[in-house]
Structure 1
Amino acid sequence: MDMRFLFLGDTVGNIGVATVEKYLPLLKHDLKPQVTIVNGENATKVGRGINHELYLKIMNAGADVITLGNHAWNNSEIFDFINQTKNLIRPLNYPGKDVPGHGYIEMNVNGNQVAVINLQGRVFMDEIDDPFENVDNLLTQLHKDNVNIIFVDFHAETTSEKKAMALHLDGRISALVGTHTHVQTSDGQILPHGTAFLTDAGMTGPNDGVIGMKFEPVINKFMTARPNRFEVQETGSAVLSGCYIDVDSKSGKARKIKNILINKDHPYQEF
């Protein structure tokens, strides 16, 4: 019997949260996933971090797990609640002792042990602990505990680091989906040893800016090479990007991966 994962890419600003609230219940009705994961690291109105109100909104819309990324700590309110919200996970490889929150979650889903892991890359990003070593150590523990259905959100900048991680973990996890670049890729595939891979799920948020930001300051920075304050696009149309993945619940191997894209050019339709 297959287990279905539904994953939505980076939720950006007010438009992103509203789009999750609008479409996630419809997607869950049509696709009937057993596990729904939403990346919420850009959910605040300024596009950096998440707060408790937005955490509740995304969970109430139908998420089972919310993942984060390099903006996890940008909203200081997170320190007030992340230790009490097991369904909100931050990158496993954040450095230091006593890091707030958790880098993964284990769940029992219809009698199957499932783990969702959040990792962050290092190329062109903050210099944090090695994600390869960290996930290797965690997988040793999970496999000893007979957890073989494992989903990884790898929040990273470069396509090469994401593909390298996917190949490194091929056959040891069920799926690895990249986040962070906010642009959906079309390379969904099942790797040779049974791991589903997508370089980037894309974003859920404003469709008319530049990866969720107002385009005028971005253009100005490109043209002048001077600093500009970027702000989240607050008007215009929305985009929802993500994917769903079917996994054999006995072997933990992926059977299918398919992109989801909803915007003004790709209106919602039943799956």
Structure 2
Amino acid sequence: MSKLRDNLKSKVANSGQFDEMNDSYNKFANEVDNSAADEVIKQAIKDFPTQPTPENQEVVANLINSSPELNPEIKAEIIEKFKIESNIIMQAFTDKFNLRNCPDDYEDLKREAKFLVNINQYSFLIAAQRLVKIRDEELFKKDIDDNGNMKYKSFVDFIESELGLKKSSVYNYISILEAFDPSDFDRLSSNVIEYSKLLPYTSIIKKIPENLKFRVVNDAITALNNNIPKSELGQRVRKWKKDKDLKDYFKVEKKKEVRKNDEIDKFMKFLNSLSGEKRGKLQNRLTKIVDKINKY
């Protein structure tokens, strides 16, 4: 997503008020890039100007502080510099965009509105990327309440309680991230501000192999770059569902699924035909086999 970050940064820089701020922050980011900090920290620092909020500042500071690669003195030094530079970023952003300096000119209004929407959508993508890691590694289980019990029983419980977000909103952006590669986002034009337009394509892309996926992905990227309306995107996706190569693939997959279900039914009938003792022994053996497989 490096191109998206660069697009956002260039839009901020082109406002005319952020040149010195960008130079100072970029110098700091380059210093960290040459340090022993891990890639997650380096990237988080580079990404901060695209989401200059106090909450994100705290997230980045916590990332630095939790790094096992840095000694305490280096951590403290980087955090101190980061807070100085990020405060300048946030102040410059607030000075440029706030409720007291709304422009009157239509072109200025449109440009700033598109820029702010762009930041919002990109922020959701970044947040979704972090949430996927929390979900897949079940990191939400680390939250413990005052009684020593797990605070969140599920990922959905975590996003609704901790973040105050609806499950559908989060999973929409997660679906986009899982369907498209970071390199796909780099191909989007700087004028693209609605990444959620990619959502209709995800139901197809996530179900097909790589040799078929690139055609659908290319169509999605082209549609967004050409600013195709949402109403037409649904029609394009429906056409893909009728594509011969995709239909042939789905037919083969459906036959495989039917055969698999038939085999499962046959096995269950065989299992149920056994006496209680034999069935128990077979189930125990199968359980041991599955346990061994899961270890690898």
TM-score (norm. length: structure 2): 0.25
Determine which structure has the larger strand proportion and give its number: 1
Q: TM-score normalised to the size of structure 1?
A: 0.27
Q: Give 1 or 2: higher helix fraction.
A: 2
Q: Quick check: which has more Rg, 1 or 2?
A: 2
